[in-house]
Chain A
Amino acid sequence: MTAPSTRRLPEHRVAPSVAATTNSHLQITDVTKNFGPQAVLKGVNLSVAKGGTTAIVGPSGSGKTTLLRLIAGFEHPDTGSISLNGTLVAGEGAWLPAHKRHIGYVAQDGALFPHLTVGQNVAFGLDAAKLEGGRRAVAARVAELLEMVSLDAAMAKRRPHQLSGGQQQRVALARALAREPELMLLDEPFSALDAGLRVATRRAVAKVLAEAGVTTILVTHDQAEALSFADQVAVMRGGKLAQIGNPFVVYTRPADRATAEFLGDAVILDAWLEGSLATCSLGGIPVRRPPAQGRVQLMLRPEQIRIAEDGPIRGVVVDTDYFGPETTVRLKLNVPQEVAEHADHRYPGGGEVITIRHWNASIARPGMELCLRVVGEAVAFPMED
């Protein structure tokens, strides 16, 4: 484990859970959960390291909130078990109710108590009788917590409805931090905020949690949020975890096509794989750890396909979408020379339309021919039947 302050630097972004599996704070084993006839979780296994940040990301209805509620102790798993710090808290006959788990929980809308002031909300989990110094100590702790989440101490007298959405989320975080939990669960806490505030609040929350050294699990349907927030990303789909790994790995080397497309835009091309070289409309592209040989589907991220004057691939611009800082360009690929010349070549494609991005809108007008170059490796998936 590195110190919290340096843990967020890019070169340290290796999932601690991958590095040290023995040191797991939370262990989820074969958990299933049904609501009536509907299977929501179909066997989930997840290990979260102490002090680590894990994002559970998945589309709506994939079961990620249910998983979080199971960890928090709001629901019982049907089968499987959950243990915290090596102690079984759910499953195999064990059950520790939510209020004894010592887990912090921040809900989507903050779930601040509307009948209490901000200060009373933050102090809700504090017990004045148990704290040395009684009420004064509580007040001091509230002020300290508000400062920790960058809120003015004067805010303590306000009511939750007088705060903005971002401020409410910070109060919810301060409230959850008050009891110094070792594990913090964040259930889409930023999704109700508008785009600009979302990024700022996410950064602030990540900083506070990292400084406090709290193990954090974030549930989100926003892949950018998951990739930027966590050092371990677990992709959830249809009640199962499709892939768990460090953000860079899951983004660049997704386990399957659905994961690839969920985590970001993807260019998918039919290709012929021999050894570790795939041939497709973009020419020959190296593939890391080829899963199969022969016909495969090749996945590239749009940013891997660059417009370059000396690029070997050619494509004609079909249309463009202007977004300001960047332009989305749809290109129809030419059939490569070698493929056209060698009739016996078993490369299956040619003439696909792909979408790439470019910063300069003026060089891509419909009808123009562009030269392209592929950077880096591609990921190959076995053909789907």
Chain B
Amino acid sequence: MTTDLSAPARRSTTTAGRGNSPRPPFGVSAVSVLAVLIALFSLVPLGYVAYMTVATGWDTAVGLILRPRVGELLLNTLLLMAATIPLCLLLGVAGAWLVERTKLRGHRVWAVLLAAPLAVPAFVNSYAWVTAVPSLGGLGSGILISTLSYFPLVYIPAAATLSRLDPAIEQSAAALGLGAWRTFFRVVFPQLRIAMTGGALLVGLHLLAEYGAFAMIRFDTFTTAIMTQYQSTFNGAAGNMLASVLVLFCLLLLLAEVRSRGTARYARIGSGVQGKALRLPLHAYQWPAQLFLLALTALAFGLPLFYVIRWILAGGADIWTASEFLPALLTTFSYGLAGAAATTVVAFPMAYLAVRHPGWFSKSLELSNYVTSSMPGIVVALAFVTVSIRLVPGVYQTAGLLVAAYVLLFIPRALVNLRAGLAQAPKELDEAAQALGKPPLLAFIRVTLRLTAPAAAGGAALVFLAIANELTATLLLSPNGTRTLATEFWSKSSEIDYAGAAPYALLMILLSAPMTYLLFQQSKKVAGQ
């Protein structure tokens, strides 16, 4: 027989009957029910805001919203976002491009240093700047501090995208007659769109949610105003209406991000091994570039670190009172660990459905999570305070309620990691274990859970970091007398005991540093997916 042996080699081997066959979403009904419950729970803050707006009544609501004070907050918030988001985009993309795409000397070190400011909580940054320039206050300093705190949120995804970008695309552009600069703007820059819109959304949401950093420099935004209202009237209609406007802003930001993300495909098309990224020579621009990065990291990371250490030196041994210091550290650790564990457990069914049973069902679950993730801490906290007092007074100001709030606030961090981890543990491995005689549950534990463990741990670490630096929700929801690093830092610096606050600031930075590095490393892996 002369059957053509070369024919099969030309046939596609990738579409072997699996893959896109639609699976019924309710195939794993227990997980589905669980996920629905979690999604419903996650909609509590949004439901609260909607209910409060309706309950307040149209006339009262309009009266509370249309007043000069709200106009002032609106103007502040809009100006803050209008200035900070473009600045963060500019610094983040420029930094990422220099680090990933030019022959910048020491680009490996710069790559890490540019992500480092993320290890400094914004309110610690604010504290350092107030120390450095005591006269700071108002919009300008709000822009300065938030830009320096948040530009890594653009830098990290942009750098990840640039490092994963297939150089063959740029080579094709060059072959089509485009010069280096035109290649960057016509080919590379559009590829950064997802990273930039995603980064811009994160910066915007942080700007809306941040309390400590702006309160310290007496710059009023919706969040600080809600906090002030809460502290004076506990649970007034005025505060609730401000929260409604704030939530509206968050939803608008989400919508804007979805719209501008577009539908074009940016993943790498085709198979084969990707080549190494091209790096442009900087020539005469080497020193200006180095100076620019030096100035940026000095202002964003060096300055806060310098002033924290200076306060520690100035405070001497007196500020290290173990009786205050150790309990705060212990409490932070306990909440961090409990919150990280709870968040990971809660996120697992969601991630499982999204990876193993993609479809409208898991999409809508994700959407509910996505919306919740945009809710500022202050709104989640307000919602939990009100709902718990009205419906289940027993849980108000308990550790459990605070952990539940942490879960809602930080579930996306765990989800992203778990999804990536589950993608590494395909269903086929589970089935292979079953075919080898392991009952489904045992197969799941020994294969899927085991393979997802590293990613879950990474996600849990990020949640832990977020909880360790969380201030707003902790202030509102923690049981009386709870003292975490963040709240201790806050109460001390509010009493202008800057030296006393310094050890807590240093500890938060030290705790955050390894996690920031982890986040930076992970972004490089996730970018290609």
Contact = CB atoms under 8 A, between A and B. Distances in A.
Contact of A124 (B13, B16, B18, B433): B433
A108 B432 CA distance: 11
Given A40-B21, A99-B437, A323 B6 contact: yes
Interface string A209-240: 00000000000011111010000000000000
Contact of B440 (A99, A102, A104, A111): A99
Given A224-B7, A225-B8, A125 B429 contact: no
Interface string A6-49: 00000000000000000000000000000110101000000000
A74 B436 contact: no
Contacts of A65: 16-18
A53 interface: no
Interface in A343-379: 357
Interface stretch (A133-141, A188-196, A276-284, A288-296): A188-196
Q: Choose among A62, A98, A176, A264 the residue with the greatest number of B CB atoms under 10 Å from its CB.
A: A98
Contacts of B21: 35, 38, 40, 66
Contact of B12 (A60, A103, A187, A225): A60
Nearest to A65: B17
Given A188-B13, A227-B1, 11 more contacts: A35-B21, A40-B21, A63-B17, A66-B17, A74-B431, A97-B439, A113-B433, A114-B424, A195-B8, A223-B8, A302-B2
A176 B435 contact: yes
Interface in B1-41: 1-9, 11-13, 15-18, 21-24
A62 B15 CA distance: 11
B437 A125 contact: yes
A222 B7 CA distance: 8
B23 A99 contact: no
A103 B6 CA distance: 32
B433 A105 contact: no
A251 B1 contact: yes
B438 A227 contact: no
A61 B2 contact: no
Give the top 7 A-B pairs by smallest Cβ distance, nearest first.
Answer: A125-B436, A65-B17, A105-B435, A222-B8, A98-B434, A111-B432, A191-B13
Q: Choose among A124, A188, A303 the residue with the greatest number of B CB atoms under 10 Å from its CB.
A: A124
A245 interface: no
Interface stretch (B91-99, B258-266, B343-351, B443-451): B443-451
Contacts of A187: 16
A111 B431 contact: yes
B435 A103 contact: yes
B434 A74 contact: yes
A92 interface: no
A105 B4 CA distance: 29
17 contacts: A35-B23, A38-B21, A40-B21, A60-B15, A62-B17, A72-B431, A72-B435, A99-B443, A101-B435, A108-B16, A114-B451, A175-B432, A178-B436, A188-B13, A194-B9, A222-B8, A303-B2
A236 to B, nearest CB: 10
B6 A195 contact: yes
B11 A221 contact: yes
B436 A264 contact: no
Contacts of B432: 105, 107, 111, 113, 172, 175
B12 to A, nearest CB: 7
A238 to B, nearest CB: 13
A105 B16 contact: no
B8 A264 contact: no
Nearest to A185: B435
Contacts of A222: 8, 11
A207 interface: no
Given A97-B434, A99-B435, A115 B451 contact: yes
B431 A105 contact: yes
A195 B9 CA distance: 6
Interface string B403-420: 000000000000000000
A113 B452 CA distance: 12
A98 B431 contact: yes
A245 to B, nearest CB: 16
Contacts of A257: none
A302 B3 CA distance: 9
A199 B428 CA distance: 24
Given A99-B435, A111-B432, A60 B24 contact: no
Given A40-B21, A107-B428, A191-B13, A357 B2 contact: yes
Contacts of B6: 195, 323
A63 B16 CA distance: 9
A60 B17 contact: yes
A119 interface: no
Chain A interface residue number, banded:
35 or more
Contacts of A61: 15, 17
Given A64-B17, A113-B447, A191-B16, A35 B22 contact: yes
Contacts of A100: 437
Interface in B261-296: none
A322 to B, nearest CB: 13
Nearest to A109: B428
Contacts of A179: 436-437
Interface string A70-88: 0011100000000000000
A187 B11 CA distance: 16
Contact of B435 (A104, A113, A225): A104
A374 B85 CA distance: 78
A36 B435 contact: no
Contacts of A102: 437
A147 interface: no
Nearest to A62: B17
Contacts of B4: 224, 264-265
Given A64-B17, A357-B2, A111 B428 contact: yes
A185 B436 CA distance: 12
Contacts of B436: 99, 124-125, 175-176, 178-179
Contacts of B22: 35-36, 38
A60 B296 CA distance: 55
A326 interface: yes
A121 to B, nearest CB: 9
A74 B434 CA distance: 9
A99 B6 CA distance: 38
Q: Choose among B437, B440, B447 the residue with the greatest number of A CB atoms under 10 Å from its CB.
A: B437
B450 A115 contact: yes
A113 B429 contact: yes
A221 B18 CA distance: 13
A103 B431 CA distance: 12
Contacts of A111: 426, 428-429, 431-432
A188 B428 CA distance: 13
B438 to A, nearest CB: 6
A1 B183 CA distance: 69
B220 to A, nearest CB: 52
Nearest to B442: A99
A310 to B, nearest CB: 22
Contacts of B11: 221-222
Given A99-B438, A107-B428, A224 B18 contact: no
A192 B447 CA distance: 23
A57 to B, nearest CB: 11
Contact of B24 (A36, A72, A113, A185): A36
A93 B424 CA distance: 35
A35 B3 CA distance: 35
B182 to A, nearest CB: 40
Nearest to B23: A35
A60 B429 contact: no
